[in-house]
Amino acid sequence: MSSDILFAGSVPELYDTYLVPLIFEPYARDVAERLASWQLARVLEVAAGTGVLTRAMAAHLPESVSIVATDLNQPMIDQASLRGTARPVTWRQADAVALPFDDGSFDAVVCQFGVMFFPDRAAAYAEARRVLRPGGVFIFNTWDRLEENDFAEVVTSSLAALFPDDPPRFLARRPHGYHDRDLICKDLEKGGFRLAPVIDTIPARSRAASSEDPAIAYCQGTPLRSEIEERGPSRLAEATGIAAASIADRFGRVDVDGKIQAHVVTVDS
């Protein structure tokens, strides 16, 4: 669905305010720390979103390492640039399946929870391999199945109850729809990577001050919002409230704490 990749309007700001601290920050630190063990001069980030991994890399990597951060959606780049980084990086709008960079121009390519949105993953992986120098590294992460991610599962279930005839399935379809290890390996091979990837499955905790925060994060700060509003513009507040109540029923109303889990994939060029 085309709406699955639309991050516009108020979504980028809500995404950055609610979703980033809820689920993205621990994995951004993980990728940045993995990169720090490599000898790097230039790093390319694709599908940078609002820059959570970009900020982590700017803080963890030596200042001698140049960072180019790209995203398909200009509003996400605008939000990331507004938020800023600890040191200068280059922001650029770019499509991961048609990167505007020369062959072999980067030591590392990284992607933080973006591969699930690529319309042709093998083509995007081929582009990552093309712009990597020989001996470079490609690191990306992708969410594990919905059932391993508490808040996303509860939100999806609550909306299925609210819209039983046509449940919004964005979270299951996109963010949590690319977790099969064999498929990931096959797609990388189709993209031209000849070495087997290392895939680490990393659990973490997702915490928020209230049950409303995860509900706002998922219902209003992702393309799930478009799916809800397609069922009636007035349903967004109702759906967010139902999701918040379901989260409260399972995790309480304050200081909520749930499991998240993702695969981290590392493959040499």
Structure tokens at 174: 């996109």
Is residue 1 very low, low, confident or very high in pLDDT (cuts 50, 70, 90)? low
Q: What is the mean pLDDT of residues 11-31?
A: 94
- Kindly state the helix (H) or strand (E) to which residue 68 belongs, with its residue range: strand 66-71
pLDDT, mean over the chain = 95
Global confidence as pTM: 0.94
Task: Give the pLDDT confidence score for residue 6 in this predicted structure.
Answer: 52
Give yes or no for residue 42 having a pLDDT over 80. yes
Q: What is the pLDDT of residue 233?
A: 81
What integer pLDDT is reported at residue 221 of this predicted model? 93
Return all residues near 241 (Cβ < 8 A) that are at least 6 apart.
215
| H or E segment and range at residue 207 | strand 198-210
Q: Residue 8: what pLDDT?
A: 53
Domain boundaries, the chain: 2-268
The CA distance from 77 to 217, in Å, is 19
- pLDDT (average), residues 96-102: 98
Judged against a pLDDT cut of 90, whether residue 231 lies above it is answered with yes
**258 pLDDT higher than 60:** yes
- Residue 55: the pLDDT is 97
In this predicted structure, the answer to whether residue 220 has a pLDDT above a threshold of 60 is: yes
How far is residue 91 CA from its own chain's centroid?
Answer: 17
Instruction: Kindly report the CATH class assigned to 2-268.
Output: alpha beta
Rounded to the nearest 5 degrees, what angle is found at the Cα of 104, between the Cα atoms of 99 and 110?
A: 60
**CB 174: neighbour CB atoms within 10 A?**
18
CA 118, chain centre distance (Å):
11
pLDDT for the residue 11: 83
**Given a cut of 80, is residue 78 above it in pLDDT?**
yes
Determine the pLDDT at residue 122.
Answer: 98
Secondary structure (3-state) at 214: helix
pLDDT of residue 7: 59
